[in-house]
């Protein structure tokens, strides 16, 4: 009997709490951002002259990079009592660093934060820039820019790069996040490295293309490179429309490898290996001037040739 009374009281308290929450939501027009307990200041920086090298060290904010029809680089960002930015320009070099601040006397934070922070970077369309971005717990999106070099690094967030040209190379590094690359042309190496995140590369060109992850799949389509390497574990590898100059290496475990290869089988020196799965390729073949190395375990190899 006593237990039943406790359940009844708990149920009543829950109903009262729900009623209070519903009333509070209605009073703010169901706009939860109004419950933010921190003050946000929107800021904007316009570069003094041309910027050819940009380094950003941030955290907990999404970073978006795109072009602008202007001759000056512009950055929009948000500051609050927990984080300020130090912006320094020296000639054509620009550095933006986030400085985390712990408010005096605050050891616990029970406030609400429903505001989505984002830094937006606008690069002049006719400028080729050395772009280096490091952040964490957030996504990085780069679209339509020209680079002399490109380096993107985050954690617990995705990386999305599209319509980008890099005079040297491009490095995309994350963990617990996906990497998506489309319509990218890099004169050097295009290197994509993740863990626990899917990698999708399409319509890209580079001297060497590397895709490496774990516990996730890799999808490669319409790529042109001298060497292409894809390495994962517990994730499948799918390929189509590849133009290979010298070597293609695909390596996974506990998953299959499938797709279509250019040319005919006699174009390749082949080494293939699997266990606990079928294999459409010969284990060993001495063929043409291209090298094909395909390995998996506990999965099948299903690769066909166009001719």
Contact 163, 147 (CB under 8 A): no
- Of 74, 95, 123, the residue at which a domain comes to its end is 123
**Shared domain check, 192 and 306:** yes
**Shared domain check, 180 and 254:** yes
For 174, how many CA atoms within 13 A lie in the half-sphere containing its CB? 26
Among residues of the chain, what percentage have pLDDT more than 70? 82
**Shared domain check, 153 and 41:** no
Q: Is residue 300 part of a domain?
A: yes
Query: Could you report the per-residue pLDDT of 72-100, keeping only the tens digit for each?
Result: 999 999 988 777 899 999 999 999 999 87
Show Cβ contacts of residue 146 under 8 Å, excluding neighbours closer than 6 positions. Answer: 125, 126, 127, 128, 129, 164, 165
- Of 123, 152, 180, the residue at which a domain comes to its end is 123
Q: Give me the pLDDT at residue 112, please.
A: 45
**Shared domain check, 156 and 23:** no
Q: Is residue 280 part of a domain?
A: yes
Q: Is residue 236 part of a domain?
A: yes
**Shared domain check, 42 and 67:** yes
Q: Give me the pLDDT at residue 109, please.
A: 47
pLDDT higher than 90, residue 68: yes
CA–CA dist 200, 183 (Å, integer) = 12
Angle at the Cα of 141 from the Cα atoms of 87 and 204, rounded to 5 degrees: 125
* Mean pLDDT (whole number) for 50-76: 95
CA–CA dist 159, 141 (Å, integer) = 6
State the residue range of the domain holding 218.
139-307
**Shared domain check, 239 and 213:** yes
Per-residue pLDDT band for 276 (boundaries 50, 70, 90) equals confident
**Shared domain check, 113 and 185:** no
**Shared domain check, 294 and 148:** yes
The predicted model scores a pTM of 0.83
**Shared domain check, 86 and 50:** yes
Q: Give me the pLDDT at residue 17, please.
A: 59
CA–CA dist 91, 159 (Å, integer) = 29
Greater confidence (229 vs 24) lies with 229
CA–CA dist 50, 122 (Å, integer) = 12
Q: Give me the pLDDT at residue 248, please.
A: 97
**Shared domain check, 73 and 216:** no
pLDDT higher than 90, residue 170: yes
pLDDT higher than 60, residue 106: no
Q: For the chain, what is the domain count?
A: 3
Pairing state of beta strands 83-90 and 93-100?
antiparallel
Query: Could you report the per-residue pLDDT of 123-169, keeping only the tens digit for each?
Result: 999 999 999 999 999 999 999 999 999 999 999 999 999 999 999 99
**Shared domain check, 152 and 4:** no
Q: Is residue 133 part of a domain?
A: no
Q: Give me the pLDDT at residue 187, please.
A: 93
Q: Is residue 212 part of a domain?
A: yes
Q: Is residue 107 part of a domain?
A: yes
Q: Give me the pLDDT at residue 307, please.
A: 80
The DSSP H or E segment spanning 18 is helix 2-27
Greater confidence (224 vs 113) lies with 224
Query: Could you report the per-residue pLDDT of 194-228, keeping only the tens digit for each?
Result: 989 999 999 999 999 999 999 999 999 999 999 99
**Shared domain check, 97 and 14:** no
Q: Is residue 166 part of a domain?
A: yes
Burial (0-12, 13-18, 19+ Cβ within 10 Å), 88 = exposed
Q: Is residue 128 part of a domain?
A: no
């Amino acid at each position: 009997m006593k237990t039943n009374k406790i359940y009844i009281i708990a149920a009543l308290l829950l109903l009262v709490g729900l009623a209070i929450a519903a009333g509070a939501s209605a009073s703010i027009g169901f706009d939860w951002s109004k419950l933010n307990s921190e003050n946000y200041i929107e800021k904007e920086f316009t570069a003094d002259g041309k910027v050819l090298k940009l380094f950003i060290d941030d955290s907990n904010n999404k970073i978006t990079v795109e072009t602008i029809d202007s001759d000056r680089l512009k950055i929009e960002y948000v500051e609050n009592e927990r984080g300020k930015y130090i912006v320094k320009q020296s000639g054509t070099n620009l550095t933006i660093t986030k400085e985390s601040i712990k408010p005096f006397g605050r050891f616990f934070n029970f406030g609400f934060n429903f505001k989505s922070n984002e830094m937006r970077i606008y690069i002049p369309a006719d400028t080729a820039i050395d772009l280096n971005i490091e952040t964490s717990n957030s996504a990085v999106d780069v679209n339509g820019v020209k680079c002399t070099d490109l380096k993107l690094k985050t954690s617990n967030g995705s990386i999305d790069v599209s319509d980008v040209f890099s005079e040297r190379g491009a490095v995309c590094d994350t963990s617990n996040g996906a990497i998506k690359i489309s319509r990218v042309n890099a004169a050097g190496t295009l290197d994509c490295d993740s863990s626990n995140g899917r990698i999708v590369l399409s319509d890209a060109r580079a001297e060497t293309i590397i895709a490496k992850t774990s516990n996730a799949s890799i999808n490669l389509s319409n790529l042109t490179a001298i060497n292409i390497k894809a390495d994962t574990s517990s994730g499948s590898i799918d390929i189509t429309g590849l133009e290979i100059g010298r070597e293609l290496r695909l390596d996974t475990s506990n998953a299959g490898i499938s797709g279509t290869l250019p040319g005919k089988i006699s174009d390749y020196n082949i080494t293939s290996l699997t266990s606990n799965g079928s294999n459409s390729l010969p284990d060993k073949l001495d063929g043409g001037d291209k090298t094909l190395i395909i390995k998996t375990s506990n999965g099948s190899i299903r690769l066909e040739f166009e001719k």
